[in-house]
Structure 1
Amino acid sequence: MANKEEKPEGKESSWKDFIYNPRTGEFLGRTASSWALIFLFYVVFYGFLAGMFSLTMWVMLQTLDDYTPRYRDRVANPGLMIRPSDLDIKINLSNPQQYSSYVQDLERFLLDYNDILQEQNVQCPEGKYFLQDNEEEKKVCQFMRSQLRQCSGLADTTFGFSEGQPCVLIKMNRVIGLMPRGQPYVNCTAKRETPLQMQYFPTEGHIDKMYFPYYGKKAHAKYVQPLVAVKLQLNEQDYNIPLTIECKVEGTDLRNNDERDKFLGRITFRVKVTK
């Protein structure tokens, strides 16, 4: 009697036959015609899905406007932003390198407002919306950098940082079609008992209606937002103390008191000056 059971004939080669069986011509358990039918099915199936996706995308794109978003209900009111783009501004008067980044940020931002560039734009009548519904390429109202006067960076290239009376530029975010009612202006207050002296450019922080409405990036390619510059007139008594400043858009129907959105129609930042 044999000590070991004899293995059935062909047992050792069963896995090789699964990969390719020369007797039946099957590869991985299927014949070439079977694999061809499966491949054809998936080509047709995924081709149909791709066609359906392309068709639905094409139909959806026909409902969109190249110039105006279809749904704008969530951005009906603009937020406020500042330049330099830092909500915690720290100034060391004895170290110009410390505040040089703020000065460079302001200078870069104001390049589009240089008077030479703005002279190419239109001198719009003040106090009126600049409506251009029938023009495909919208014109832009002039906003001269020189309007910011002491905060323009032209006479004082440090924007007041070197003297401890820094300038902060405030702008509203762009909202297509926005036409604020009333006479919008920016008002800033320091969160402390005694008021902080500030100077606004343009006068009284006025935002003229002629810069509205905005028609979108494609139609209004050269548009620049109107700015309000606030010069914080600090003195030595204000040094070494973090000052919290809140600026709001007033005199209009724009919202500025939503507790769920701290940047809607307002912005809060801190300034600290040390010698």
Structure 2
Amino acid sequence: MVVSKDNDNGRVKEFEFAKTPELTKWEAFKKAIYDPRTHQFLGRTGKSWGQLFVFYALFYAVLAALFAICMQGLFATLSDKEPKWTLDSSLIGNNPGLGFRPISDRTEEGSLIWYNTTNQTQIQRWVNYVDSFLELYKRNQTGENYVNCDFDKYPAEGQVCVTSVDQLGNCNPERSYGYRTASPCVFLKLNRIFNWQPEFYTAPHPDMPDELKYHIENNTKSKERQQIWVSCLGKDDVDKEKTADFNYYPHGFPGYYYPYKNDKNYLSPIVAVELRNLTPNTIVSIECRAWAKNIRYSGSALDRAGSVTFEVQIDTATS
């Protein structure tokens, strides 16, 4: 209703307009979905919906094409075999880390190897860990690009050296890797760094343990000194008193496995270390170190490099 004043006689005039009937909620909802008067569906006509569909179809088609072009350009700079960034220019750098096996799958045990020599269940558990680790090394390594290597016979381009468990001495499956005795074996392996070439110590280094110095000088032929040496000791003086000696199979990582080129079937060399006659019923911390001129060593717990530590406890008392 509109109210106005008649200027002639001062009377107020009222004009009534036709009122649109109010819609119920259901009717308003149906009209929002489809309005039969304007033929609009969800507020748009068929033509408007068609234009909107064509616009977004073209928009996303162009977006997908641009994304595909970018990805193709990216993949063109990558190789399935060789990483784009290597050595000093890569995130992992050029200082390989040293790892060990077996490792418990129980997080709370950390790097502790613990078993009782009278408990067959515990012994078998650690044997299973080693079996799982060596599974690839136990397979038949013949044919394809495998070749038997030696210090005077390096693999050709695309070939890989056979890595056999037959060279692990006392650390073999028939002896349960020493876990049925007080002299278990651990297995060491260097992390792979593409195109990293070790610089060998062909003569003893002053910081090397006496046992390793003696081995290099008296038990190694000149050509066989082309390897990354390995040594293990008790971590602290107390731990050194609890260790007898260590046997290595072999005493280092042979140089003919390097550099790593990501060739098919490549297996990293391993060193088996027999921990001989550790003091029973107590935890012994052991540090193993890799020796090469271009392997930086740090024994710090916060910045460990070129070495690995683990703990061993061998109980002999019947529980």
The alignment's TM-score, normalised by the length of structure 1, stands at 0.84
Does the Cα contact within 8 Å between 2:248 and 2:273 map onto a contact in 1?
A: yes
Change (3 A) 1:7 1:165: farther
Percent of aligned positions that are identical = 32
* Stretches of structure 1 lacking an aligned partner (at least 5 in a row): 1-5, 133-137
Counterpart code for 1:67: K
Whole-Å separation in 2 of the counterparts to 1:168 and 1:254: 21
- The correspondence of residues 195-210 of structure 1 with structure 2, limited to 5 A, is 195=241, 196-203=243-250, 205-210=251-256
Whole-Å separation in 2 of the counterparts to 1:66 and 1:117: 26
Whole-Å separation in 1 of the counterparts to 2:274 and 2:313: 14
In the alignment, which residue of structure 1 is the partner of 2:184? 166
> Alpha-carbon deviation of 1:99?
2.0
Structure index of larger Rg: 2
Matched, 1:117 2:117: no
* Stretches of structure 2 lacking an aligned partner (at least 5 in a row): 1-17, 105-110, 202-227
In the alignment, which residue of structure 1 is the partner of 2:231? 187
Counterpart code for 1:173: N
1:243 partner SS: strand
Aligned counterpart for 2:292 among listed residues 237, 251, 262: 251
> Alpha-carbon deviation of 1:139?
1.1
Change (3 A) 1:21 1:191: same
Aligned counterpart for 1:11 among listed residues 10, 23, 48: 23
- The correspondence of residues 1-275 of structure 1 with structure 2, limited to 5 A, is 8-12=20-24, 13-72=27-86, 73-75=90-92, 76-86=94-104, 87-114=111-138, 117-118=140-141, 120=143, 121-126=146-151, 130=155, 132=157, 138-154=158-174, 156=175, 158-183=176-201, 184-193=228-237, 194-195=240-241, 196-203=243-250, 205-216=251-262, 220-235=263-278, 238-257=279-298, 259=300, 260-262=302-304, 264-275=305-316
Change (3 A) 1:7 1:272: farther
Q: Which deviates further from its counterpart, 252-261 or 95-104?
A: 252-261
Counterpart code for 1:174: R
In the alignment, which residue of structure 2 is the partner of 1:135? none
RMSD: 2.3
Whole-Å separation in 2 of the counterparts to 1:94 and 1:272: 13
Tell me: higher relative CO, structure 1 or 2? Use CA pairs within 8 A at least 6 residues apart: 1
Counterpart code for 1:244: S
> Alpha-carbon deviation of 1:124?
2.2
Counterpart code for 2:235: K
Whole-Å separation in 1 of the counterparts to 2:142 and 2:248: 19
1:108 partner SS: helix
Q: Which deviates further from its counterpart, 46-55 or 98-107?
A: 98-107
Whole-Å separation in 1 of the counterparts to 2:29 and 2:163: 80
Whole-Å separation in 2 of the counterparts to 1:22 and 1:258: 82
Report how many residues are paired: 255
